[in-house]
Structure 1
Amino acid sequence: MHALCFYESPVGGRYDQVEFHIDGDIKDYDRNYLNDIKDTVAKMLECQANEIFINGVKAGNSFYLCIAIKKKYTNKILSLDPINISSLRTLQIDFFKIGDQKISTGALLINSITISGAEQILHISFKTQDELFVSDKENICLVDSAGKILNSGFESAYYPSGSHTVTDDLDFLFVDTNGVHKLSPDGVIATPFYSPAPYCIHSSHINGDMLVGSFGKVTRYDRNGRKLNVINYPHVRYFHPIYITENKNGDIWTSDLWLTAVTVVDRSGGHRFDYTGPYSHFRPRALCADVLGHVLVCDCHNDSVYLLDQDGNFLYLLLTQEIHEIYHPTALCVDDQHNLYIGQEYSNTICVYKYLQNTDVKHSTDQKHYSKNTEIRAPKRLGKKRSNKVGDPYYAT
């Protein structure tokens, strides 16, 4: 491998300079890799080889590849559809710049929902395209797609926590110090069963079971409230589980406030692994699984959302403060159209992103990933090193 060095050549009057930000360390790449990027861009723009050339490598938080492109193609690259742009993500390009314009190759913001009167967004439960259940530090409310509050008669039990969930039958379940409560679609509240001092709850989309996290344990109940099993020490170590979800393979993922880790067990409660994050400081909050069996995790300390495979291997940073301007992400969920909803601790606005390029499950094994808990290269303020492996071609749009 021939080492790359930083340089920049002038751009002629018939060309514009486009700077592609490579999320990696320059010493891990060679000229062939840069040529792959140039060829990919040329193919996207449908231009000839003599209409595009590499004219520099610039230092950045990671580094920039400068490509001179004939001016007649500048507007075309700005108007490319998200699927085309996402092909750059597989080359570890997380954004590119033309002048003062910055275009992300990752998750695409498609909507925002502001909820008047809310102090923050700590948990989101998707009901339908027209309705969401949302909680802040004190209250749980039902809102429509415009953020209008439809029902706000529920208290949020703990801070922070995933204190509510929606069943496949569209019943709303929430927990407080008195146990588990159910709000049926016709507005009737019942207490189907008592679970002592619950912190968080998740309704399984596999079999309708309910997973309830409380001090030192996770308890599985069937849809009628009958206790099926308890997962606790010595089989697995829980302290203060605050968010819980279930992956399509039956694994149970739980973020723990005191452990500052995500604990993963199989469907019977056998411990699989603990995910401790890609940085030295990790503060996990909400997590959820998607149709491909991957898990998204909020890290409110590093202002990021991570994409992991079902074995806890890091795929890549899906959202960051640097690119997406998120701060202390605490809540997330994926809807029935595979859109990602993000809530933040110091904002009353939910941001909605399109992030899945391909939801065909049969392709989901064609992935390259980082080893579990590998340290990755982050925005400059975090300063960790990332290994040189490409991300997931089925994510980002």
Structure 2
Amino acid sequence: MNLHRIELIRLGLATVVAVAVLSGTADARTRSGSTSTTTTSTTSGGGMGGGGMGGGMLGGGGVDVLNVANGVTVVVQQINKTMSDGRNVAFWVFCAQGGGNCRLGGPTLELGVGQQSNLSLNMMMAPQENPPYQGHTIHPHGLDVPQSEDGVPETGASVLGDNYRFTVDSRYVGSHMYHCHVHTVKHLEMGMYAAFIVKAVDGSGNFLNVINQGGPSYNYEWNMVLSSVDPAYHTAVGDSTVFADYNPRYFLINGSEGLSTSAPAETVTAAPSANVAIRLVGIHSVNGTFEIKDAAGSSKSFTVHNKDGFKLPSPQTVTKLDISPGQTADVMVTLPSTTGSWYPRVTYKNLRNGGAYTNGTVYTRLNF
């Protein structure tokens, strides 16, 4: 399907808006033969070692990291999460078949430039809606793949399970996403999404720790999947009028709420002076603004290298970055040589008036 196709996605207003999709996380350690790596992180308080300066995965919500060139099968399962106010919300999530690590955010998929994906969706025992919205697909959002591999039912994709085979070139090195494209207004909200990262490779096919093709290298990689939750969508079915409006109550990074710097969604640790690549994957249905602040509340600058999965003509150094629904961005920050903590955060904003939602700032913590 053409890269500049018009794809319908819900933006949270009482309508569906057509948005031009311009393009659409990976273990920073070099891996060419491994199939899966599980990252670990904390959802409040504690930390996670990032390894030495040789590179490593930070955070990511504890999801599996799967190299789809090696052959990956995912299934769909229902999980339940207790939110900060005590409410229990049901989600449908992708998870690796037989792996047992089913988390909101789904497994991160990686694919090297020029390597062929071998990704299968097994629908056995999958939770689903009644007709005409039964079944699921995998849509590689932002990647220009053959229509037969695009996971869009309206253009012929099977909703009863499928195998997705495609390759991508060096233009796509960076962050993308994948999600179910059946009754997207419902299934995306239910949690059927995750990060899809295209990696540069060396002559032997090993992944390289560079933020884009020919771009600067990083020591650590941190994937942040941004999402919002309107619990009414999780119980509505079919063509319910509930889907005509969007009123989110919970705001997440990597599947967790982080209501303060003392109770962050995720805490990670990297070495001082390290280069950290942060991949922002915007699956939220409202607007959001990303920024980094230190313990005193002072803004820290970072450099934007990719937007919507494509390398910028020139990197941009900023202190704030707006991320709209369906967008991605790859940014990099160099940590101080002395130890300390910074607090990357996303403020989710109302599409109607631009104001921040109550409890709409989600905090993370980066120790060094």
* TM-score for both structures, normalised by structure 1: 0.25
Structure number with greater Rg is 1
* TM-score for both structures, normalised by structure 2: 0.26
**Bigger relative contact order, structure 1 or 2 (CA pairs below 8 A, ≥6 apart):** 2
